Every structure is written in structure tokens, then in C-alpha cells.
Structure 1
Amino acid sequence: MPRLNGSSRRDMLKITAILSGAAAMPQAQAQESIATDFRRYAADMREPDLVVGLWPEGRMPGGPVPDIRETIDDQTDNSGLRYRVAEHVTRPTLAYFAPANPTGASVLILPGGGYSRVGIDREGYETARWFNAQGVAAFILRYRLPADRWGGGALVALQDAQRAMRLIRAGGKWSVDPKRVTVLGGSAGGHLAISLCVKVYERTYPVIDAVDRLLARPDGAILLYPVVSMGAGDSAAVTGSKLALLGANPTPGEIAAWSFDQRVPGITPPIFLAHAVHDRVVPVAHALALFGAVRGSGGEIDMHLFEDGAHGLGLRGDPAWPMSDWPNLARRWQVRNGLA
């Protein structure tokens, strides 16, 4: 992670956060109106139009399969909104939300959960409904969790993400522009999304069928408060993601292979990055490190830092927070990059 002295780092964060917050929504009334509208998609009960399995029967890589049973923890948050989380995923799936007025663009959504759980509603289905309203086809991946200690180790989630990108481009049950597929990830899902962008040429599993001849690199990435580095000395939550992904005693090589705080390949797609300065789960230093790594490689990245915000807010942020307007900021970024 890059280091700044205390005063210069605070000054930089304060200035950047103020600029992002001011640019996002200048009027408190408009902030409340937009954020309330976002919550409408969180309260919506619409389920996917289609759910498909990722892998042909008996051909899923990453085995042997651990002795686990897939479960859904179904609860509600403090606002009364549904908050389902999948645990011990044994059958990874792709849930498809079809837009009423499709533009041809699509988004693959990778919810967070520390690589030990994966969200369904928050950062998942509700975000898909919002993208649908913009004409964008949305796909939510329920990926396998390295914490369950699959034979494939840390690779199993990336195997699922690569296969999902290829299935989206292959079409058949849906029709999308294969050159306008964005990936969106939050927290550990953000780490998985970065992995998908960076490990473009890594063949994580043998070719199974014609789908696996297609590119797995997304055309753009929206990253929300992502885990970036698996290095030591971080928050408890990041340490938990590291333990889930790499186990108790990873080698320096394994840590480096799954950390993106140094230089990254110039082949990474354009990136939109949003993070709260006072995120108590994933420190904002992760966002700063990724920004430096991407810029150092000559890549494109739009970084938005916010003084007020929260980790894992999805579409449920406080209406007073400019960070709650991240979907509109991301939408404008998509339009500018031809991804909408």
C-alpha cells in the first residue's frame, strides 16, 4: 500500500471527498429525492426472469467438492428491507433480469460477502432492477466461496466469474452486445471484479465447450468499496476476506497474486471506483492504492471519494449522503465510455 504522511493524507482525502460530494448532488432536497427513488428498487419484490446454472452437469471445475450444504439466510435489515445471503454455495448460478426497453448493454453483478457468503438482495437483485430501468440487462452471479475450502482453492470464485462473463456474451437465452458488458462488484465482490479485469489471460479451468472460447475480460468495471490488497496490517474484515480466500498460512507469492495495490496490467478495462473516506470495514487506503496502480499502468480510472458514506450501502444509503448517488455517477461514466 502506498503511504502518505498523516497531515498530507488527511488533507488529500478531505479535498477529494469534498469535491466528489459537492459534484454529486449540490442540493439536499435533490439528494433525498434521488436516494428515496433508489430505495424503491430495494423494496421491489421482483425476482429474476431466469436463473441458469453455470456449468454443464458433471463438468464443474475446482473440485473436489467440500462436504457442505447450500443454505439461504433470509432476514430483513433495520429499514425492513429483505436481506438474503447465500452460504456454502454448491451450485453457482446466473440470475437474469431482463429490461423492458433494452439498449443491448449488460452488467454482471458480483455481490460481496467476504468470500464466505454472497449477497442476493443488497448489491444484487435491487441493483439489477435499477439497471433494468436504464435499459441495461443485469446478471447476478451466485459464486462458490473459497472459505468452504474447495479443491480449487482461491480460484473457484474466479472460475465462476470467468464462466459467467462468457455465458453472457454467448447469449442464446438473452441477447446483449458482447462489447458492452460491465462488471460491478462490492467489497469482496469488488476484489473478484478486479481479479476478472486483471487476470485476463489466466486460464483458470480447462475448455469445456464453445462458450469457453469467448473472452472473459469485461469492457468496464464499477467497483464499490472494494478489497484491493491481501497484505498484512489491515482491518479485521479485510483480514477475514484474506483468510477466506487464501487460508491461514498463505505464502508471499499467494498474497502477491491476489493483491492489486502495485502496478496492474495495461489491459485492464476502464474503471469507476466509489469509496467512503471513513469506511470502517475496508479502509479507503485500498481505493487509493488501486487508483495509483491503475494510473501507474496507464489505465483509465474515475475515483470518487466521499466524506460521508458506508460500507455495503448498495441502494440503501442515507439520503443525506452524496455517496448515495453513486448509481447516477456510474451511469454517466457508462454513457461516456459507450457502455450504457
Structure 2
Amino acid sequence: MRIGDTTSRRAMLKGAALATGSAVIAARAQTAPGGGFLTFAQDTREPDLVLPLWPEGRMPGGPVPAITERIDDQTDNAGLRYRVAEHVTRPTLAYFAATNPTGASVLILPGGGYSRVGIDREGYEAARWFNAQGVAAFVLRYRLPADRWGGGALVALQDAQRAMRLIRAGGKWSVDPKRVTVWGGSAGGHLAMSLCVKVYDRTYPAIDAADRLLTRPDGAMLLYPVVSMGAGAHTGSKLALLGPDAAAADAAAWSFDQRLPGITPPIFLAHAVHDRVVPVDHALALFGAVRGSGGAIDMHLFEDGAHGLGLRGDPAWPMSDWPNLARRWQQRNGLA
């Protein structure tokens, strides 16, 4: 679909038909072995609308590095599409309209180690799942600190804050501004936690009325998140976010493994014990930090699982059922 402020009638009708199809898929997923979540990866529904995040000429975080945005379009071993964005210069917000909307919404922040950002896995596929539950979904393609923007580590958070404000502002969609959850995997989970913790950080000057709205999500769902930039950090994410010579103070400022301010929203956390990319110690540290601040966190640890599984996990793994666990958590917290 072309990036822009309007959607053709034909595209809208096609989107409605696909959304209806998603409801059928959701019903099947509830009874299929392992939840049948792979059907949402096999679905080909694209966003109903894709919007530029910033008005022309008003994007903060410059100067822009000498890079060219590109999409790495591959197919994984199971024959599923696996697109990844690199060198993002024009961040966008992709909107997936919900089937039988409840008013709830979710901002999806795919992972990629702050040097790439996923599109399908941890992105569009999760959006289709949430849509089938009546939740409007927004997938953010954010700028990558690895590209060494003038704004440094802040550029991804600038994009995430702006996205949260645009969702609440509405206009082209109607959602309950008090039921906006953030979902993030891996480095996207770190960015989601940044939204939850850096609530009072004004990372850019206000551009319009939307920038007067709150950036704190009403809940956070985290899969195998990067948490610490200090000892035991995920090397790739730390290098991309802070560079090769990160000062201890900078690493501490972007770590969430110590006592946190008592402003974090309720958190859902899932991680595999034998994650080979981001150690489970990150999840354990986050759990301790949130509990130490008096916050609410549901943590699910699984013996079998994989980093970056999204909705493509082995149906035999209990971890692959995370969407149903997250759904019940949303309902319990009034976020569904």
C-alpha cells in the first residue's frame, strides 16, 4: 500500500474482507494444536493504512546520516516471508484495523538489535493476531541508532513517543486513549521499556497538538526483552544503541535492571530459560527491578523456546502459547 494520508475505497474493502478472514483464522487458532498461531504468519494481509510519523521537515534527531533506506525481503526455511527494514530514514506507523473493535489498541515495536527492524515476524503477524481479538494494532518502523543519527540513542525513543501520541490523538482511527498497550520483542522490548520508564523525558520539541498527549503506555507486553546495557548486556544492541565507547553513565541510563521509578504500567513478560541471544538473566533482573519499585509484573519462563519466535514457535513448546497468556493478562488488566 502506498504511504499517504488516504486509502482507496478498493483497498478499504479488501482490508475489510481480510479482517473478516482474520476472525475465522482466530477461531481456528483457539482449537488448533499449539494455538495454530502460524496461520497469522501465513496470512498475507498488509496494513490498512501507513502514515509518515513526522510532518515533512519536522523530524527531530538530525542531522540525517548518509544512508539509504532498504527492505531486505527474504523467505525463511518454512517458506514464510521475512522482511526487515534497514537504515530507516522515514519512520512510519502501519495501522491494522481490528475485527469487531473493542476500543483497545497496541503499539508494536519489532526487534532487530537497534540495527534493523522487523516487518513481518514480530510486526505484521502480531498485528493480525491482535486484530482478531478486537484490538487495533499499530506497527512502528523506527529509526535505528546504529546508523549514528545526530540524536544518537534518542532517535528510536523519539519515534516511539511520537507514535504513542499519534495513536491517542486518533483522527483516522478511533481508540480508547486509556487502553493503549505497547508490545515489544528483543530490542523492541527494550524500546518498549524505555517508553514505560522515560515517561517524563521530553526527547523532542512539540510539533502539534498530539505532542501534548502522554507517552506512557497503559500496559506493556515484552517477549525476550533486552534489559541491561551494563554487565551481561546484549552486545549487539548495546553497540548499536550507545556505540563502541559507551560511558558507564550512559549504559546505566538505558538499563532497566535496577530500582525503577514507580510509574511503570502493568507488565507481561515471557522468556525462554535457554535463550541463546538474550540471556534469561535480563528477564529475571527486570522482574526484580519492577517488584522492587512496587510495580506489577507477570513473568512467564519456559524451559523450551527460542529467541525471536514471534508467532512461529514450535507448537510443542508451551512458550508458543504466549499470545493466549498475553490475552488473558490484557483482559485482567482492562486492556482488551
Q: Structure 1 length as normaliser, TM-score? A: 0.89
- CA shift at 1:99, angstroms? 1.1
Aligned to 1:280: 276
- CA shift at 1:35, angstroms? 3.2
- SS of 1:272's equivalent in the other structure is strand
The equivalent position to 1:336 in structure 2, one of 322, 332, 336, is 332
* Residue type at the aligned position of 1:43: Q
Please give the alpha-carbon distance, in whole angstroms, between the structure 1 residues aligned to 2:187 and 2:322: 18
Does structure 2 conserve the Cα–Cα contact (< 8 Å) formed by 1:32 and 1:319? Answer: no
Aligned to 1:209: 208
Alpha-carbon displacement from aligned partner over 1:97-152 (angstroms, at most 9, x marks no partner):
00121000000000000000000000100000000000000000000000000000
- SS of 1:302's equivalent in the other structure is strand
Aligned to 1:304: 300
Please give the alpha-carbon distance, in whole angstroms, between the structure 2 residues aligned to 1:285 and 1:308: 16
The sequence identity of aligned pairs, in percent, is: 86
Alpha-carbon displacement from aligned partner over 1:167-218 (angstroms, at most 9, x marks no partner):
0000000000000000000000000000000000000000111000000000
Alpha-carbon displacement from aligned partner over 1:242-280 (angstroms, at most 9, x marks no partner):
000000101111000000000111100000000000000
Please give the alpha-carbon distance, in whole angstroms, between the structure 2 residues aligned to 1:52 and 1:176: 17
Does structure 2 conserve the Cα–Cα contact (< 8 Å) formed by 1:31 and 1:321? Answer: no
Equivalences, count: 308
Please give the alpha-carbon distance, in whole angstroms, between the structure 1 residues aligned to 2:301 and 2:319: 8
Aligned to 2:217: 218
Q: 1:292 to 1:123 in 2, by over 3 A?
A: same
Please give the alpha-carbon distance, in whole angstroms, between the structure 2 residues aligned to 1:242 and 1:130: 30
Please give the alpha-carbon distance, in whole angstroms, between the structure 1 residues aligned to 2:178 and 2:314: 35
- SS of 2:268's equivalent in the other structure is strand
- SS of 2:72's equivalent in the other structure is strand
Q: 1:32 to 1:177 in 2, by over 3 A?
A: closer
- CA shift at 1:34, angstroms? 4.4
- SS of 1:107's equivalent in the other structure is strand
Structure 1 spans left out of the alignment, 5+ residues: 1-29
Give me the CA root mean square deviation. 1.2
What does 1:227-246 align with in structure 2 at a 5 Å threshold?
227-234=226-233, 238-246=234-242
Please give the alpha-carbon distance, in whole angstroms, between the structure 2 residues aligned to 1:142 and 1:86: 8
- SS of 2:63's equivalent in the other structure is coil
Please give the alpha-carbon distance, in whole angstroms, between the structure 1 residues aligned to 2:262 and 2:33: 36
Please give the alpha-carbon distance, in whole angstroms, between the structure 2 residues aligned to 1:297 and 1:260: 11
The equivalent position to 2:288 in structure 1, one of 271, 288, 292, is 292
Does structure 2 conserve the Cα–Cα contact (< 8 Å) formed by 1:35 and 1:317? Answer: no
Aligned to 1:266: 262
Aligned to 1:82: 81
* Residue type at the aligned position of 1:156: V
RCO comparison, higher one (Cα < 8 Å, 6+): 1
Please give the alpha-carbon distance, in whole angstroms, between the structure 2 residues aligned to 1:244 and 1:59: 24
Q: 1:170 to 1:211 in 2, by over 3 A?
A: same
Does structure 2 conserve the Cα–Cα contact (< 8 Å) formed by 1:246 and 1:254? Answer: yes
What does 1:17-166 align with in structure 2 at a 5 Å threshold?
33-35=32-34, 37-166=36-165
- CA shift at 1:233, angstroms? 4.0
Please give the alpha-carbon distance, in whole angstroms, between the structure 1 residues aligned to 2:255 and 2:132: 35
Does structure 2 conserve the Cα–Cα contact (< 8 Å) formed by 1:97 and 1:128? Answer: yes
Please give the alpha-carbon distance, in whole angstroms, between the structure 2 residues aligned to 1:153 and 1:309: 33
Aligned to 1:186: 185
Q: Structure 2 length as normaliser, TM-score? A: 0.90
- CA shift at 1:232, angstroms? 3.1
Please give the alpha-carbon distance, in whole angstroms, between the structure 2 residues aligned to 1:106 and 1:281: 29
Structure 2 spans left out of the alignment, 5+ residues: 1-28
Does structure 1 conserve the Cα–Cα contact (< 8 Å) formed by 2:108 and 2:184? Answer: yes
Please give the alpha-carbon distance, in whole angstroms, between the structure 2 residues aligned to 1:79 and 1:36: 18
Please give the alpha-carbon distance, in whole angstroms, between the structure 1 residues aligned to 2:36 and 2:95: 22
Please give the alpha-carbon distance, in whole angstroms, between the structure 2 residues aligned to 1:285 and 1:36: 28
Please give the alpha-carbon distance, in whole angstroms, between the structure 1 residues aligned to 2:227 and 2:210: 29
Does structure 1 conserve the Cα–Cα contact (< 8 Å) formed by 2:230 and 2:248? Answer: no
